[in-house]
């Protein structure tokens, strides 16, 4: 397995590093996320992105001749573990920056501790509006929820022409916020939301929900959920209603969604800042597929970009001849010129939030994602 | 009306699936009096085995029988390895040992098949008929036919066949059945194989039903199957089917008329309601109730003690490690020096977590250890305390003492009310009712958005100053650590005092034999509610300390796995033994931390250690009290 190898490598590094010149010491980036437990499918994407980044960097000779080492810690998706891991990273002077976590809640549990330790934290997929407000040390590579509201509402009302909308959201930190923001904006525009329903974690039976949607008279659904649950929802929805329009969030931009839905994903439209085939991502997607035998998804891309943000800042510091310290890395991330990430241009302006990002719309057609026109 | 009937139909369809899972639970419970937590994992393994065989290119007609055979063998292996050696142990030991195996199996499945959901290939195109605003598919009908056929087959087997009758006799009195020449070991092995095979069938059917397989499927369907079996009356196979359908229909109606978010809340509230009013379940048997509550009703032992084994024998006491409360408190006090050694903040934070779980272990020791109420949902109280503390500290800016007092009193009050509901339950039923209680509190935290912030949790919790020491800043980790040391010292002294007093002796008497205690004139209900309140007070303090430590709390921290961790602590330490509970709390927090290097294998190692302790020292490392 990969993890013991990493441990071995780090053990070896500490044994050898004792006497070796400082230049050979690895540059350590900490990463935390749900590597086991029910969210571990997403943690796996984190791990793959980390592995790809460190291998690519080290193949190029690392940073200033020092290899990159990613130290991966498992939160099992719990904030309690995230706080402990944050403290562990904070206490280890070798750790220079931290990537993680997967959910907003685990990212926010770690945030105050990392901020106290002056460690920059780049969360790949935490989209909670308050996350970046915790301190100047918090950054993210995903778009914040508010910046996605306009693209979502445009998609529902203009692209799809929905008149009466049913909102179905996953009951987690992200889903509730997106749903609230969308509902508020639709209200301003005077578009009626006839039904707002939530999916609870572990739920896989959506027939009662489908019946409710059919009875509500909605002509379109906005699906704010994760791919595995959504695939089942679509299967059950299409059995009952083959025609109702469905729009979704970028979380469904995952080939697994199409595969698991057994054909029921056809026609679902979503915005996305990450297209595996787009010019910015093509090289990354190809390498990813060659290495792991699957197409990268949203989580892979944002995690890879989080590493790029940190790696880029380190390289800029080295180029300027500044020492690689925690504080310098944080400052450099904040001041770095626009960086071409696989999910689009990344530039922080004053906060750890990215501004609104160009969004494209895609649709599931013929068992694959195609640009929506 | 159309909508109502459509929702009813939806409910019957999913209830049908629950029933299929519940039958396996009922069979095993009915013939062995064991709650087999691995049933959910076996279901998942069955689905994945079928998936793997089909991935290898073999047709479904080969894959499904192979998968069922595979789970049957695994089930027999579990009986042989995890349960038979524990036959003489207190009933809580096999319960926890199957739980430990669940950790091991689920984690292994994640390593073998990756945690992602996989597409389950369907060799046929399903047909669907629209009925009102709902629909029925061919797979639904196949599942229905299958559960009815299995139910009928089991009924015939249990009432007509010799083996079935012998199995039922074993459930009533193992020793007597043995003396009559029943080959008990072989039959039990067979019962477990059969139960596991049924789990395999259920797993494959669920995989076909949803067209996907994923490692977490065992947990969710396991819990629902459990609830269904309990609703119907644990030992009754017909009850399991009825319970499944009832659960499904009520869930569907809850979604239809309240909201999808309330689905599980309705399911678990219903469970608690039925258990309170009719602890033996809908079709359960109450004839033996006079001989020891609902546990007796399922035919085990005329005693309510959780300490005696299946055959009724007391545990060998062996050596015991137990400090006097004063010395124990002094040892905890010594922990105060930890931050002075110049260790990293990480070590201090691990220490603080140990202290918080120490407080929880003290509370649970009073409730489960002394009073014998096996509370499987203690994380609910922990969460309640944390939220009360977080809200009062953030909204009103109260000093630390006031926040702690408020969390303590509020949680104690909540616990007392829950105690009133649970006090009439005994045996397995109390374990499951309290498990549901824990899930219910978690669901309230998750769904009550206006107050708890829902899944977003509460962020920016202050670390308030103390009224007694207004000049001392409490924002540092070390300050929080010392605050927790003081809390734990106070809790240990108080709990030690209570447990050594006549009240503690009465609680232990209730634990050993509630009927006898009652007959001897003890006000059982009042004592039990007191134990609940004391436990709740400790959980409230722990919750407050946790909220201060984290500065951000969300429902994620108070889920079922946290409850199981606490139960593991007090059982491994030795029920009723404060010293043992604290040692185990320290071990079970420090151990997973030190196993971080093993990342993927951590839960497996944890499961193995739990299993080995139960196997070789079921009375706990430090011994019972």
**With a CB-CB cutoff of 8 Å, which residues 568-597 of chain B face chain A?**
593, 596-597
pLDDT of residue B309: 55
CB B243 within 8 A of CB B232: yes
Best residue in A123, A204, A224, A292 for a mutation probing chain B (most B CBs within 10 Å): A204
> Whole-number mean pLDDT of chain B?
85
A255 to chain B: which residues are within 8 Å by CB? none
How many Å lie between the alpha carbon of A215 and the closest alpha carbon of chain B? Answer: 7
What's residue A192's pLDDT? 93
pLDDT at B306: 60
User: Measuring CA to CA, which residue among B48, B200, B207, B195 is closest to residue B122?
Assistant: B207
User: Residues B204, B54: contact at Cβ < 8 Å?
Assistant: no
By mean pLDDT, which of A265-274, A314-323, B76-85, B280-289 is the weakest? B280-289
Give the per-residue pLDDT at B296: 40
Residues of B in contact with A106 (CB under 8 A): 556
Kindly state the DSSP code that residue B311 receives in the 8-state scheme: T
Q: How many Å lie between the alpha carbon of A220 and the closest alpha carbon of chain B?
A: 17
A231 touches chain B (CB under 8 A): yes
Chain B residue numbers with beta carbons less than 8 Å from the beta carbon of A210 are 134
A51 touches chain B (CB under 8 A): no
DSSP secondary structure code for residue A352 in this structure = S
Contact B210 A235 (CB under 8 A): yes
Based on the number of CB atoms within 10 Å of its own CB, is A243 exposed (0-12), middle (13-18) or buried (19 or more)?
Answer: exposed
- A249-258, A326-335, B200-209, B475-484: segment of lowest average pLDDT: A249-258
pLDDT number for residue B353: 94
Interface residue A104 vs chain B (CB under 8 A): yes
Determine the pLDDT at residue B570. Answer: 87
Cβ contacts below 8 Å, chain A against chain B, sum to 206
Residue A17 has pLDDT above 60, yes or no: no
* Contacting residues of B for A37, CB less than 8 Å apart: 115
Task: State the residue for tokens 């605050």.
Answer: B483
**Nearest-neighbour CA in chain A from B616: distance (Å):** 28
Position B288 pLDDT exceeds 80: no
Compute the average pLDDT of residues B155-183: 84
Q: Which of B135, B251, B603 is opposite residue A240, by nearest beta carbon?
A: B135
Tell me if B602 sits within 8 A of A76, measured CB to CB: no
Query: Model confidence at B415, in pLDDT bands (50, 70, 90)?
Result: very high
- Smallest Cβ–Cβ distance between A87 and the set B3, B216, B349 belongs to B349
Rounded Cα distance between B511 and B533, Å, is 17
Residues of A in contact with B261 (CB under 8 A): 171, 197-198, 200
Residue A40 has pLDDT above 70, yes or no: yes
Per-residue pLDDT at B84: 83
Q: How far is A84 from chain B (nearest CA, A)?
A: 7
Rounded percentage of chain A residues whose pLDDT exceeds 70: 94
Q: Do B600 and A90 touch (CB under 8 A)?
A: no
CA distance A372 to chain B (A): 26
Is B6 an interface residue toward A (CB < 8 Å)? yes
The pLDDT of residue B147 is 83
Whether residues B353 and A80 touch (CB distance < 8 A) is answered with yes
Q: Is residue B491 within 8 Å of B359, Cβ to Cβ?
A: yes
Phi, psi of A275 (to 5 degrees): -120, 120
Residue in A211, A216, A230 to test binding to B, most B beta-carbons within 10 Å? A211
Residue B261 forms contact with A (CB below 8 Å)? yes
Concatenated DSSP letters of A128-149: -TTGGGS-TTEEESSPPHHHHH
Looking at the complex, report in whole angstroms how far the Cα of residue B332 sits from the nearest Cα belonging to chain A: 21
- Cα–Cα distances in angstroms (integers) from residue A70 to residues A10, A34, A57, A312, in the given order: 10, 15, 11, 15
**Number of DSSP helices (H) and strands (E) in chain A, helices first:** 12, 14
Quick one: pLDDT band at residue B316, thresholds 50, 70, 90?
low
The beta-carbon neighbor of B14 closest among A111, A205, A240 is A205
Residue B103 distance to chain A (closest CA, Å): 10
pLDDT value for B301: 44
Q: How far is B165 from chain A (nearest CA, A)?
A: 37
| Model pLDDT, residue B6 | 87
Residue in chain B nearest A135 by alpha carbon: B460
Rounded distance between C-alpha atoms, residue A163 and residue A149, angstroms? 17
- Please report the pLDDT score of residue B304 as a whole number: 53
Least confident of B55-64, B482-491, B600-609: B600-609
Does residue A179 belong to the interface with chain B, where contact is any CB pair within 8 Å?
Answer: no
pLDDT band at A41 (very low <50, low <70, confident <90, very high): confident
β-strands A193-199, A165-170: how paired? parallel
Confidence of residue B519 (pLDDT cuts 50, 70, 90): confident
Percent of chain B past pLDDT 90, that is, above it, reads 29
Mutant choice from A208, A230, A265 vs B, greatest count of B C-beta within 10 A: A208
Are B556 and A90 in contact (CB < 8 Å)? Answer: no
Identity of the residue in B119, B133, B449 whose CB atom sits nearest the CB atom of A215: B133
- Give the percent of chain A with pLDDT over 90: 52
User: What's the confidence (pLDDT) of residue B363?
Assistant: 95
* pLDDT of residue B511 exceeding 50: yes
Per-residue pLDDT, averaged over B56-82, amounts to 92
Q: Which pLDDT score is estimated for B179? A: 87
At residue A236's C-alpha, the angle toward residues B141 and A157, to 5°, is: 160
Express each pLDDT in A203-246 by its tens digit: 888 989 999 998 898 999 999 998 889 999 999 999 888 899 99
For the residues A329-346, what does the mean pLDDT come to?
Answer: 89
What part of A 339-368 touches B (C-beta under 8 Å)?
A: none
Determine contact: B456 vs chain A, CB below 8 A. Answer: yes
Q: Is the pLDDT of residue B295 over 50?
A: no
Contact B3 A215 (CB under 8 A): yes
pLDDT tens-place string over residues B135-154: 888 888 888 888 889 888 98
Look at B255 and A212 and tell me if their CB atoms are within 8 Å: yes
Q: Average of pLDDT values for B262-275?
A: 84
pLDDT for res B297:
37
CB contact under 8 Å between A202 and B259, yes or no, is: no
Q: What is the pLDDT of residues A260-287, one digit of tens each?
A: 998 899 999 999 878 888 888 889 999 9
- Per-residue pLDDT, A86: 94
Give one DSSP letter per residue of A45-100, joined into a string.
HHHHHHHHHHHHHHHTT-BTTBPEEEEEEE-TT-HHHHHHHHHHHHH-TTEEEEE-
Of B10, B110, B593, the CB nearest to A208: B10
Q: Is pLDDT of B291 > 60?
A: no
pTM, two decimals, is 0.86
> What Rg value do the Cα atoms of chain A yield, rounded?
21
Q: Tens digit of pLDDT for each residue in A297-333?
A: 888 999 999 999 999 999 999 999 999 999 999 999 9
Give the torsion through C-alpha atoms of B427, B428, B433, B434, to 10 deg. 80
Smallest Cα distance from B128 to chain A, Å: 7
B592-604 burial: b if 16+ Cβ within 10 Å, else e: bbebbebbbbbbb
Q: CB distance B263–A200 less than 8 Å?
A: yes
Can you give B53-83 as a three-state secondary structure string?
Answer: HHHCCCCHHHHHHHHHHHHHHHHHHHHHHHH
Euclidean distance between CA atoms B256 and B595, whole angstroms? 46
User: φ, ψ for residue B534 (rounded to 5)?
Assistant: -60, -45
Residues of A in contact with B114 (CB under 8 A): 41, 44
Q: How far is B335 from chain A (nearest CA, A)?
A: 19
Given a cut of 50, whether residue A20 has pLDDT beyond it is no
A132-183 pLDDT, tens digit each = 888 999 999 887 778 889 999 999 999 999 999 999 999 888 898 899 999 9
Q: Does A94 touch chain B (CB under 8 A)?
A: no
pLDDT at B51: 95
CB–CB contact B347 A91 (8 Å): yes
Residue A174's pLDDT is what? 86
B449 close contact with A: CB closer than 8 A = yes
Classify the C-alpha dihedral A158-A163-A168-A169 as positive or negative. positive
Q: What is the pLDDT of residue B293?
A: 39
- The DSSP H or E segment spanning A165 is strand A165-170
Q: What is the pLDDT of residues B420-460, one digit of tens each?
A: 888 777 666 777 788 889 989 999 998 888 888 888 888 88
Q: Which of residues 183-212 of B touch A (CB under 8 A)?
A: 210-212
Chain A's closest residue to B6, CA to CA, is A211
Interchain contact A40–B (C-beta under 8 A): yes
């Amino acid at each position: 397995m990969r993890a013991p190898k990493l441990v071995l490598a780090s053990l070896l590094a500490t044994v050898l590093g004792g006497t070796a010149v400082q230049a050979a010491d690895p540059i350590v980036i900490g990463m935390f996320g749900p590597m086991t437990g029910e969210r571990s499918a997403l943690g796996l994407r984190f791990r793959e992105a980390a592995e790809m980044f460190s291998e690519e960097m080290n193949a190029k000779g690392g940073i200033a001749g020092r290899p990159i080492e990613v130290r991966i810690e498992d939160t099992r998706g719990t904030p309690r573990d995230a706080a402990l891991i944050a403290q562990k990273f904070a206490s280890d002077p070798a750790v220079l920056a931290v990537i993680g976590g997967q959910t907003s809640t685990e990212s926010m549990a770690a945030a105050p501790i990392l901020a106290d330790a002056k460690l920059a934290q780049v969360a790949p997929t935490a989209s909670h509006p308050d996350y970046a407000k915790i301190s100047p040390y918090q950054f993210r590579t995903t778009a914040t929820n508010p910046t996605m509201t306009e693209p979502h509402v445009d998609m529902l009302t203009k692209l799809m022409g929905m008149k009466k909308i049913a909102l179905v959201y996953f009951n987690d930190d992200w889903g509730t916020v997106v749903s609230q923001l969308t509902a508020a904006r639709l209200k301003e525009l005077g578009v009626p939301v006839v039904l707002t329903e939530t999916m609870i974690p572990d739920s896989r039976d959506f027939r009662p929900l489908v019946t409710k949607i059919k009875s509500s008279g909605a002509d379109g659904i906005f699906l704010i959920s994760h791919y595995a649950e959504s695939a089942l929802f679509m299967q059950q929805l299409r059995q009952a209603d083959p025609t109702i329009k469905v729009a979704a969030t970028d979380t469904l931009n995952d080939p697994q969604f199409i595969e698991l839905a057994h054909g029921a994903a056809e026609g679902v439209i979503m915005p996305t800042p990450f297209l595996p085939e787009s010019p910015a991502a093509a090289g990354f997607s190809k390498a990813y597929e060659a290495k792991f035998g699957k197409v990268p998804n949203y989580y892979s891309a944002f995690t890879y970009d989080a590493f790029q943000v940190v790696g880029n800042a380190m390289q800029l510091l080295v180029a300027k001849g500044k020492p690689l310290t925690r504080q310098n890395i944080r400052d450099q991330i904040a001041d770095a010129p626009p960086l071409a990430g696989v999910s689009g241009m990344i530039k922080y302006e004053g906060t750890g939030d990215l501004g609104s990002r160009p969004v494209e719309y895609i649709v599931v057609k013929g068992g694959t994602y195609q640009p929506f026109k | 009306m159309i909508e109502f009937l459509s929702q009813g139909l939806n409910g019957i369809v999913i209830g049908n699936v629950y029933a299929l899972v519940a039958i396996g639970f009922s069979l095993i419970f009915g013939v062995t009096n064991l709650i087999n937590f691995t049933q959910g994992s076996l279901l998942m393994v069955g689905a994945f085995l079928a998936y793997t065989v089909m991935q290898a290119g073999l047709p479904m007609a080969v894959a499904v029988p192979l998968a069922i055979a595979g789970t049957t063998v695994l089930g027999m292996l579990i009986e042989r390895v995890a349960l038979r050696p524990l036959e003489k142990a207190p009933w809580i030991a096999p319960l926890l040992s199957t739980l430990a195996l669940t950790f091991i199996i689920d984690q292994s499945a994640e390593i073998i098949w990756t945690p992602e959901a996989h597409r389950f290939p369907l060799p046929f195109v399903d047909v669907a008929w629209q009925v009102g605003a709902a629909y029925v598919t061919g797979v639904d009908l196949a599942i229905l036919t299958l559960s009815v056929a299995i139910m009928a087959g089991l009924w015939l087997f249990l009432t007509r066949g010799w083996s079935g009758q012998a199995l039922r006799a074993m459930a009533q009195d193992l020793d007597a059945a043995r003396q009559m020449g029943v080959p008990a070991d072989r039959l039990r092995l067979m019962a477990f194989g059969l139960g596991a095979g049924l789990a395999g069938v259920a797993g494959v059917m669920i995989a076909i039903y949803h067209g996907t397989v994923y490692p977490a499927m065992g947990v969710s369907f396991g819990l629902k199957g459990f609830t269904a079996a309990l609703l119907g009356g644990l030992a009754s196979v017909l009850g399991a089917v009825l319970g499944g359908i009832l659960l499904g229909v009520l869930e569907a109606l809850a979604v239809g008329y309240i909201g999808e978010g309330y689905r599980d809340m309705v399911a678990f509230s219903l469970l608690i309601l039925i258990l309170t009013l009719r602890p033996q379940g809908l079709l359960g048997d109450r004839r033996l109730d006079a001989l020891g509550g609902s546990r007796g009703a399922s035919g085990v032992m005329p005693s309510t003690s959780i300490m005696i084994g299946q055959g009724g024998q007391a545990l060998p006491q062996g050596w015991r490690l137990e400090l006097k409360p004063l010395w124990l408190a002094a040892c905890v006090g010594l922990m105060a020096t930890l931050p002075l050694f110049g260790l990293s903040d990480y070590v201090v934070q691990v220490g603080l977590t140990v202290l918080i779980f120490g407080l929880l272990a003290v509370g649970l020791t009073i409730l489960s250890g002394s009073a014998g109420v096996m509370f499987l949902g203690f994380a609910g109280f922990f969460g309640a305390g944390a939220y009360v503390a977080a809200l009062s500290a953030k909204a009103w800016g109260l000093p630390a003492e006031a926040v702690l007092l408020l969390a303590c009193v509020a949680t104690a009050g909540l616990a007392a009310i829950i105690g009133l509901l649970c006090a009439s339950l005994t045996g397995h039923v109390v374990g499951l009712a309290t498990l549901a209680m824990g899930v219910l509190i978690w669901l309230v935290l998750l769904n009550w958005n206006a107050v708890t912030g829902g899944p977003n949790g509460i962020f920016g919790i202050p670390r308030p100053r103390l009224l007694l020491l207004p000049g001392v800043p409490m924002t540092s980790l070390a300050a929080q650590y010392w605050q927790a040391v003081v809390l734990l010292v106070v809790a240990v002294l108080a709990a030690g005092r209570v447990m050594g007093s006549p009240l503690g002796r009465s609680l232990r008497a209730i634990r050993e034999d509630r009927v006898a205690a009652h007959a001897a004139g003890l006000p059982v209900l009042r004592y039990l509610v007191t134990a609940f309140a004391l436990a709740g007070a400790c959980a409230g303090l722990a919750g407050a300390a946790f909220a201060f430590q984290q500065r951000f709390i969300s429902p994620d921290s108070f889920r079922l796995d946290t409850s199981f961790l606490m139960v593991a602590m007090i059982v491994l330490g030795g029920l009723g033994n404060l010293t043992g509970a604290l040692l185990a709390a320290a071990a079970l927090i420090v151990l997973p931390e030190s196993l971080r290097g093993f990342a993927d294998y951590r839960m497996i190692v944890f499961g193995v250690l739990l299993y080995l302790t139960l196997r070789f020292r079921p009375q706990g490392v430090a011994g019972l009290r």
